[in-house]
């Protein structure tokens, strides 16, 4: 509920502060007094884009602020999602700076216009003749029909499953495309993998093969050098071991002359033992070494195979080649497992579709159930509003597609005249007729769902006094469960308000300013009398005004 409105430095308004109550509030004033300015200021607070021309004084900033009582609006989730502090008395504020920039706040927290607008849409419904075009919007028609049918819980469940189903469909499409792409590469990847698997790659293999190849490829030279080494060690005349024996014995003879000689003798003994062992190793290696042309050829083939694979895959090491083999194994395995994954997802998607079909059928059944009564109620409500021959033909055709709100095509066909041909609302209903139809629909919606504060902007334009009285009665009835404002030129409507405000112009310090005030009872009588008979307040006009106020209920 809108509790208060504050406007500073906006258009013709210098500074305005006004408080509102629940129920039905009427706003009157002469043409050009500033009622549209008031509505424009409220629209800015609710998230409409700002215009620098809105500033009354271009050197000062414009501040517009509204306080709302949002208890019972179910907005906790919105505040939590937008990371805002929830306050039962929530303040929306706009500031338009002289430089042209605009700032928006919710409870003193800066927000984007998108966030402000998102909240504003849930707080105030501004209804003008231009807004009646929404009546011809298919989404609005569906929302109206579903409100009457009590479909909101079913639609919520349907919407959640539809979102999951569509997301699953996108994943499935990507997976099928991945399969097509993988299949194009599958044979080639499998061929590459086969080459690598045939090579039986292992870490450290390349170094081992290269060592074996070098040994076998130089076997004669190695044997020659090993034999020469044995000869140097064991030659009878000049062998190193023989001479080392003589050296060892000489040192042993000196060991009795002190500790240093004993140590030297031990070292010579150790050198002899080490060299003797090395000599034995040389002889063993020489005996074991054999020429093996076949092993050399096989080793060379294995090396060439690995070198070719490294060149083919553009790598220089065995580890990189093994990593490529692992990646190819993963790709081939993934391709081979795609069919199973696709089958699982298709089964899940089919299950979801079946559930969606069932929900859509339930939604459709409830819609069809209320259509006859809805047509009758619309026609009955429009009769007293100067449309006695209004007829509706609400057509609901089942489709094959799963849509955002079920599987139906909806058409609101209308005929305003007796015996007239039914056609789409936007083609046959005039602006005034659309306004009255929208008023009736909004009043019906108020019975089925909690609507925000609603503001009617001269919805009664161009209708007779009796019809306007009926329209005012509908708005009065709506105000029993919600806050209702109407801007009007008709005294019959203005008198129905629980509270009446007047918008007026005045000259202050050589400038024209717009202002607004709540009218006391006598002021209301005089305002209504002026609306009835003009500036010269006659006794009959005053009496008529008193009568209107007396019978306003």
pLDDT tens column, 458-481: 887 777 778 888 899 999 999 988
Q: What is the mean pLDDT of residues 453-461?
A: 85
Confidence band (pLDDT; 50, 70, 90) for 406? very high
pTM confidence score: 0.66
Q: What is the mean pLDDT of residues 81-95?
A: 94
Confidence band (pLDDT; 50, 70, 90) for 180? confident
**Per-residue DSSP letters for 84-110?**
----SEEEEEEEE-TTS-EEEEETTEE
How confident is the model over 207-238, as pLDDT tens digits? Answer: 878 777 777 777 778 777 878 887 788 776 67
Instruction: Report the distance separating Cα 139 and Cα 482, nearest Å.
Output: 23
Percent of the chain with pLDDT over 90: 37
Average pLDDT, the chain: 86
Q: Kindly state the tokens that stand for 348.
A: 């899940």
End-to-end CA distance of the chain: 22
Confidence band (pLDDT; 50, 70, 90) for 129? low
Contact (Cβ atoms closer than 8 angstroms) between residue 374 and residue 145: yes
How much is the pLDDT for 186?
64
Contacts of 59 (CB under 8 A, 6+ apart): 98
How much is the pLDDT for 496?
93
Q: Which pairs with CB-CB distance under 8 Å and at least 24 residues apart come from 502-509?
A: 502/27, 502/28, 502/29, 502/527, 503/27, 503/28, 503/29, 503/33, 503/34, 503/35, 503/38, 504/29, 504/30, 504/33, 504/34, 505/12, 505/30, 505/32, 505/33, 505/34, 508/14
How confident is the model over 181-204, as pLDDT tens digits? Answer: 777 776 676 777 677 777 777 787
pLDDT above 60 for 28: yes
pLDDT above 70 for 176: yes
How much is the pLDDT for 132?
62
Q: Which pairs with CB-CB distance under 8 Å and at least 24 residues apart come from 14-22?
A: 14/56, 14/508, 14/513, 16/514, 16/515, 16/516, 18/501, 18/516, 18/517, 18/518, 20/483, 20/485, 20/499, 21/498, 21/499, 22/479, 22/483
How much is the pLDDT for 517?
92
Confidence band (pLDDT; 50, 70, 90) for 146? very high
Per DSSP bridges, beta strands 406-415 and 423-424 are: antiparallel
Confidence band (pLDDT; 50, 70, 90) for 316? confident
How much is the pLDDT for 19?
94
Q: What is the mean pLDDT of residues 110-127?
A: 91
How much is the pLDDT for 69?
94
pLDDT above 60 for 546: yes
Per DSSP bridges, beta strands 102-106 and 109-111 are: antiparallel
pLDDT above 80 for 442: yes
How confident is the model over 361-378, as pLDDT tens digits? Answer: 999 999 999 999 999 999
Instruction: Report the distance separating Cα 15 and Cα 371, nearest Å.
Output: 50
| Range with lowest mean pLDDT among 59-73, 83-97, 185-199, 424-438 | 185-199
Q: What is the mean pLDDT of residues 393-397?
A: 94
With CA atoms as reference, report the closest residue to 176 among 7, 338, 408: 338
Q: 161 or 341, which is more confident?
A: 161
How much is the pLDDT for 130?
58
Ordered structural domains, the chain, with CATH: 1-123+453-519 (3.40.50.300), 180-336 (no CATH), 523-553 (no CATH)
How much is the pLDDT for 65?
95
**Per-residue DSSP letters for 128-144?**
-TTGGGGGG-HHHHHHH
With CA atoms as reference, report the closest residue to 51 among 110, 101, 13: 101
Q: Kindly state the tokens that stand for 495.
A: 């008198």
Helices (H) and strands (E) in the chain, counts: 17, 15
pLDDT above 70 for 154: yes
How much is the pLDDT for 521?
92
Per DSSP bridges, beta strands 2-10 and 62-69 are: antiparallel
How confident is the model over 530-541, as pLDDT tens digits? Answer: 988 887 888 888
Query: Distance between alpha carbon 520 and the CA centroid of its chain, in Å?
Result: 50
């Amino acid at each position: 509920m809108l509790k208060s409105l504050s406007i500073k430095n906006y258009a013709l308004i210098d500074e305005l502060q006004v408080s509102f109550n629940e129920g039905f509030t009427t706003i009157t004033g002469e043409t050009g007094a500033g009622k549209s300015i008031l509505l424009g200021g409220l629209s800015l607070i609710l998230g409409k884009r700002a215009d620098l021309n809105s500033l009354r004084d271009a050197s000062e900033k414009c501040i517009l602020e509204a306080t709302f009582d949002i208890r019972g609006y179910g907005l906790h989730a919105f505040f939590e999602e937008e990371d805002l502090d929830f306050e039962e008395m929530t303040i929306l504020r706009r500031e338009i700076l002289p430089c042209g920039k605009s700032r928006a706040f919710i409870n003193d927290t800066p927000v984007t216009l998108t966030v402000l607008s998102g909240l504003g849409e849930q707080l105030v419904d501004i209804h003008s003749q231009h807004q009646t075009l929404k009546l011809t919007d298919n989404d609005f028609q569906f929302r109206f029909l579903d409100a009457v049918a009590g479909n909101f819980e079913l639609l919520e469940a349907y919407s959640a499953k539809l979102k999951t189903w569509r997301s699953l469909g996108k994943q499935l499409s990507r997976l099928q495309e991945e399969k097509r792409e993988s299949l194009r590469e599958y044979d080639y990847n499998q061929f590459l993998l086969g080459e690598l698997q045939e090579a039986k790659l292992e870490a450290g293999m390349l170094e081992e093969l290269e060592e074996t190849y070098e040994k076998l490829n130089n076997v004669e030279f190695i044997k020659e050098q090993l034999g020469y080494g044995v000869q140097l060690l064991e030659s009878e005349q000049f062998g190193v071991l023989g001479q080392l024996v003589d050296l060892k014995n000489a040192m042993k003879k000196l060991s009795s002359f002190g500790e240093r000689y004993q140590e030297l003798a031990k070292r010579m003994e150790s050198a002899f033992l080490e060299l003797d062992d090395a000599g034995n190793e040389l002889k063993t290696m020489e005996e074991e070494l054999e020429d093996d042309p076949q092993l050399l050829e096989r080793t060379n083939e294995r090396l060439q195979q690995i070198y070719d694979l490294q060149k083919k895959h553009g790598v220089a090491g065995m580890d990189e080649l093994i990593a490529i083999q692992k990646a190819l194994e993963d790709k081939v395995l993934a391709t081979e497992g795609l069919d199973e994954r696709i089958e699982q997802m298709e089964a899940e998607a089919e299950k979801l579709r079946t559930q969606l079909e069932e929900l859509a059928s339930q939604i459709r059944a409830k819609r069809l159930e209320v259509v006859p009564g809805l047509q009758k109620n619309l026609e009955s409500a429009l009769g007293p509003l100067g449309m006695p021959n209004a007829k509706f033909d609400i057509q609901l055709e089942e489709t094959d597609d799963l849509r955002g709100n079920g599987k139906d095509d909806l058409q609101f066909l209308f005929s305003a005249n007796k015996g007239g041909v039914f056609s789409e609302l936007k083609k046959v209903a005039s602006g005034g007729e659309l306004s009255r139809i929208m008023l009736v629909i909004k009043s019906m919606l108020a019975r089925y769902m909690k609507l925000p504060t609603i503001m009617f902007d001269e919805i009664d334009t161009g209708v007779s006094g009796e019809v306007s009285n009926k329209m005012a009665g509908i708005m009065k009835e709506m105000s029993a469960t919600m806050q209702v404002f109407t801007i009007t030129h008709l005294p019959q409507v203005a008198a129905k308000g629980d509270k009446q405000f007047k918008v007026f112009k005045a000259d202050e310090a050589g400038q024209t300013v717009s202002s607004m005030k709540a009218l006391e009872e006598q002021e209301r009588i005089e305002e209504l009398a002026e609306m009835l008979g003009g500036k010269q307040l006659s006794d009959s006009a005053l009496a008529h005004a008193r009568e209107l106020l007396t019978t306003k209920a």
